[in-house]
Amino acid sequence: MPSILILVTPRIDAAARKALIVLSSNVDFCLALRRRLPFLSSSQTSTETQDASEPHGIPFELLEDLSKHMLAWERGNGQLTKGNSDYFLHELLRGSRIFSPKSPALTERSEELSARLDRIQTINANAEYTQMVQGILPHENESIADIRSTNQQLAAILNVFFSVMAVATAVYWVSATITSDVAIRVLLSLTGALIILSAEVWFFVRYETRRGYRPVGSGDPSPSTNAMMSPSIQAFVR
């Protein structure tokens, strides 16, 4: 806990100066006084020094020691009369108060320091955001693989759809050479479409099943090529 500072008054100043004279044999105490009250080394009093610059403060503990040493000196010289001494602690504190030194003025931060602090703050914010979303956002490779897989599935579905539609249309027009009954022609086209749809689904399932056990680098067509071929053709290629 920091020591309480007491404002140095002319009474305390005079007592400290006299202590340096009569207590010169007490080197440690005199050094403590000079270290804490550097103006004692000059001929100016504390009041004159305060008029020229800032006031001074003395730690309360050091003031207690000053009172004790001076009272002991008076007692040893027979100068101490009962209740009559200027060196009692309450006498030294008379007219004084707690000393609060002024805080040093805060200097404005330079532009370079402000820019550096802003840059550090931005880096820390980015690091915190990265740590916060880690494990939530997918990795780039996983995202690309998902997109490719989705594109392949959409391409396969479109291939199946167009294959079924093409077969149904072809059967419908070819059946016109056999019969002119529209109902029979529609029935034949639906039958052909169902047959092709069943074949496409079977080949697609077979292709997906075999792809799970196919070793990498065994001559598979590229993903882009697979996406452009129907499942039946892909199965035969594999």
- Express each pLDDT in 177-234 by its tens digit: 888 888 888 898 899 889 988 988 888 888 778 765 444 444 444 444 444 444 444 5
Residue 101 lies in a domain: no
Average confidence (pLDDT) over 9-17: 89
Predicted confidence (pLDDT) at residue 72 exceeds the cutoff of 60: yes
More confident call, 227 vs 64: 64
Boundary (domain end) residue, out of 65, 92, 119: 92
Spatial separation of the C-alpha atoms in residues 65 and 75, rounded to whole Å? 15
Predicted confidence (pLDDT) at residue 52 exceeds the cutoff of 90: no
Contacts of 163 (CB under 8 A, 6+ apart): 196, 200, 230
Boundary (domain end) residue, out of 69, 92, 115: 92
Residue 100 lies in a domain: no
Please tell me the predicted confidence (pLDDT) of residue 212.
58
Q: Which domain holds residue 82?
A: 5-92
Residue 206 lies in a domain: yes
- 158 and 219, same domain (yes or no): yes
Q: Is 218 left (phi over 0), alpha (psi -120 to 50) or beta?
A: alpha
Average confidence (pLDDT) over 79-96: 82
Which H/E stretch holds residue 39?
Answer: none
Residue that the structure tokens 């009041």 belong to: 47
Intra-chain end-to-end CA distance of the chain, in Å: 84
Per-residue pLDDT band for 76 (boundaries 50, 70, 90) equals: confident
Name which of 70, 60, 67 is nearest 7 in CA terms: 60
Per-residue pLDDT band for 74 (boundaries 50, 70, 90) equals: confident
Boundary (domain end) residue, out of 33, 59, 92: 92
- 152 and 226, same domain (yes or no): yes
Please tell me the predicted confidence (pLDDT) of residue 148.
79
Residue 134 lies in a domain: no
Average confidence (pLDDT) over 107-126: 87
Residue 119 lies in a domain: no
Q: Number of folded domains in the chain? A: 2
Contacts of 52 (CB under 8 A, 6+ apart): 44
Per-residue pLDDT band for 141 (boundaries 50, 70, 90) equals: low
Per-residue pLDDT band for 6 (boundaries 50, 70, 90) equals: confident
Residue 170 lies in a domain: yes
- 72 and 159, same domain (yes or no): no
Average confidence (pLDDT) over 94-105: 78
- 79 and 16, same domain (yes or no): yes
Name which of 56, 76, 61, 6 is nearest 29 in CA terms: 61
